[in-house]
Amino acid sequence: MSRPQQITVLGATGSIGLSTLDVIARHPERYQVFALSGFTRLSELLALCVRHVPQFAVVPEVAAARGLQDDLRAAGLSTRVLVGEEGLCQVASAPEVDAVMAAIVGAAGLRPTLAAVEAGKKILLANKEALVMSGALFMQAVHKSGSVLLPIDSEHNAIFQCMPQDFSRGLSTVGVRRILLTASGGPFRQTPLSELAHVSPDQACAHPNWSMGRKISVDSASMMNKGLELIEACWLFDAKPSQVEVVIHPQSVIHSLVDYVDGSVLAQLGNPDMRTPIANALAWPERIDSGVAPLDLFAIARLDFEAPDEERFPCLRLAQQAAEAGNSAPAMLNAANEVAVAAFLDGRVGYLEIASIIEDVLSLEPVVALEDLDAVFTADAKARTLAGQWLNRHGR
Ligand SMILES: NC(=O)c1ccc[n+]([C@@H]2O[C@H](COP(=O)([O-])OP(=O)(O)OC[C@H]3O[C@@H](n4cnc5c(N)ncnc54)[C@H](OP(=O)(O)O)[C@@H]3O)[C@@H](O)[C@H]2O)c1
């Protein structure tokens, strides 16, 4: 039997990171953990190192690295601790590594994920923000290095599974008419508009079907997550924004669909558990046990669909406009959203102000071409500054 594949898990302490480690632990003969990273939850990172015995762990700064290194030694482990973005890029591109789970949340994941792409690794892409910010450059790097890019977002993984058989070999989407991107509608799908101004971060994070990190949970409530996913789908599947239709499907059983010119519509179904797309991508093109229970259609009994309400979900409209504008617009949208969501989670702004901040930022800055990564980070920084100015102007 061949040696187990070496896996780096960026963002190991998060929701996707933990689900990935759960799947990996079910298949010790196939996968071994090469490196794990954490950011604030460092005692959890230590526990994960004890459980999975990686060669490397990565933390954000030197003092934390010293502390973790001492704790690892005391636990009898030879795991080496690396620091910061440089450490993340190192474990993402190390020659021993076969696949990288990119599960850091937000713009912070871009450089390490790109380092893995440039090194030609198999990329399990959860960090959608990387693709939203720098789609053209990211996809160019994928084609140049020959990296295999496998989507982890349940919707994109579903679309990937429903694409023509030769899609993964030559990016052929011949015969595809539309992508139908499903959305649960989140916790506020039926909340009266008059009540949305006063919803709390905990209410926004109480997703009806999925258990996720707090940033993506707020994005799901506002449907910015679906907007980011629309942009992600355009890059992954070589589609125009007008070819991606968002469909609200409250049960989250159909994870997305592909509509073909002959009238066939293929869908992927499953219980809402991220271990399914993770196992699919880890083992692709084979199939492995993910630990997810079989789907019980009799218990589900019905599947509903509705069109999204623009008034209730202004973030979706803003993302659709940014997708159409292209160039720097998605990176600015993403950065403004990160600042606005962090301010909402800190209790500094109300839920409805998230969309106001993003709309304000996008209206203030012209859309420009992004020639290189520096231009991406310049657009990102500009949007963060403008969003910060909005917060100052409004005394937050
Ligand atoms: N959760 C889902 O079901 C789901 C589904 C589809 C796609 N995704 C995408 O997957 C990514 C991760 O989501 P999640 O729900 O797993 O988020 P999460 O639970 O908040 O985890 C985020 C991970 O990133 C680390 N991190 C945060 N800020 C960082 C920084 N500045 N530098 C380096 N590391 C940092 C965190 O470390 P600490 O925890 O130690 O602070 C944690 O390991 C996101 O891009 C999200 O959109 C998630």
Instruction: Provide the token pair at 208.
Output: 């009806």
- The dotted CATH code for 5-151 is 3.40.50.720
* 40 CB within 6 A, ligand 1: yes
CA of 104 to the centre of ligand 1 (A): 4
Binding site membership of 213 for ligand 1 (Cβ less than 6 Å): yes
Mutate to test the pocket of ligand 1, among 43, 105, 225 (most ligand atoms within 8 A of CB): 105
User: Token digits for 241?
Assistant: 């924004």
Query: Is the C-beta atom of 57 inside 6 A of ligand 1?
Result: no
Asked whether residue 118 is marked as a ligand-binding residue, the answer is: no
Q: Which atom of ligand 1 is nearest to the CA of 18?
A: 16
Buried b (16+ CB within 10 A) or exposed e, 241-258: bebbebbbbbbbbbbbbb
Which residue, judged by its Cα, is nearest atom 15 of ligand 1? 213
Give the integer Cα–Cα distance in Å for 232 and 227: 9
User: What mean pLDDT do residues 40-48 have?
Assistant: 98
Of all atoms in ligand 1, which is nearest to the CA of residue 41?
Answer: 40
pLDDT value at residue 2: 83
φ, ψ (nearest 5 deg) of residue 151: -75, 140
Q: Is 224 in the pocket of ligand 1 (CB under 6 A)?
A: no
Q: Looking at residue 166, what is its pLDDT? A: 72
pLDDT score of 88 more than 60: yes
Q: Is the pLDDT of residue 283 over 80?
A: yes
Question: Is the shortest distance between the CB of 104 and ligand 1 below 6 Å?
Answer: yes
| Interval 286-316: pLDDT, tens | 999 999 999 999 999 999 999 999 889 999 9
Q: Residue 298 corresponds to which tokens in the numbers above? A: 């009799």
Say if ligand 1 is within 6 A of residue 274 CB.
Answer: yes
Ligand 1 close to Cβ of residue 112 (< 6 A): no
d(CA 306, CA 182): 10
Distance linking the first and last C-alpha atoms of the chain: 59
Query: Residues 364-391: what's their mean pLDDT?
Result: 97
Q: What are phi and psi of 236, to 5 degrees?
A: -65, -35
Q: What is the CA radius of gyration of the chain?
A: 20
Domain 327-395 classified CATH 3.40.640.10?
Answer: no
The pLDDT of residue 174: 84
Q: What is the pLDDT of residues 98-115, one digit of tens each?
A: 999 999 999 999 999 999
Spans of all domains in the chain: 5-151, 153-271+305-317, 327-395
Residue 170 is predicted with a pLDDT of: 57
Q: Is 308 in the pocket of ligand 1 (CB under 6 A)?
A: no
- Nearest by Cα to 106 from 203, 186, 11: 11
| pLDDT tens-digit map of 119-141 | 999 999 999 999 999 999 999 99
pLDDT attached to residue 275: 98
Task: Report whether residue 38 contacts ligand 1, using a CB cutoff of 6 Å.
Answer: yes
Cα of 264 from ligand 1 centre, angstroms: 36
Residue position matching structure tokens 């949970």: 217
Pairing of strands 254-260, 265-269: antiparallel
Nearest CA-CA partner of 189 in 315, 309, 355, 271: 309
Dist. CA 263–CA 251, nearest whole Å = 24
Known binder of ligand: residue 202? no
**Is ligand 1 within 6 A of the CB of residue 135?**
no
Cα of 16 from ligand 1 centre, angstroms:
7
- Biggest alpha carbon–alpha carbon distance for the chain: 63
pLDDT value of residue 165: 78
335-357 pLDDT, tens per residue? 999 999 999 999 999 999 999 99
Q: Is 5-151's fold the same as 327-395's?
A: no
Q: How confident is the model over 169-199, as pLDDT tens digits?
A: 556 788 999 999 999 999 999 999 899 999 9
**What is the model's pLDDT at position 58?**
98
- Quick one: which atom of ligand 1 is closest to the CA of 216? 47
How many A from CA of 297 to the centre of ligand 1? 31
pLDDT at 20 over 90: yes
Is 372 annotated to bind ligand? no
Q: Is 29 known as a binding-site position?
A: no
**Residue 348 CB less than 6 A away from ligand 1:** no
Question: DSSP of 245-289, one letter per residue?
Answer: EEEE-TT--EEEEEEETTS-EEEEE--S-THHHHHHHHHTTS---
Contact 256, 182 (CB under 8 A): yes
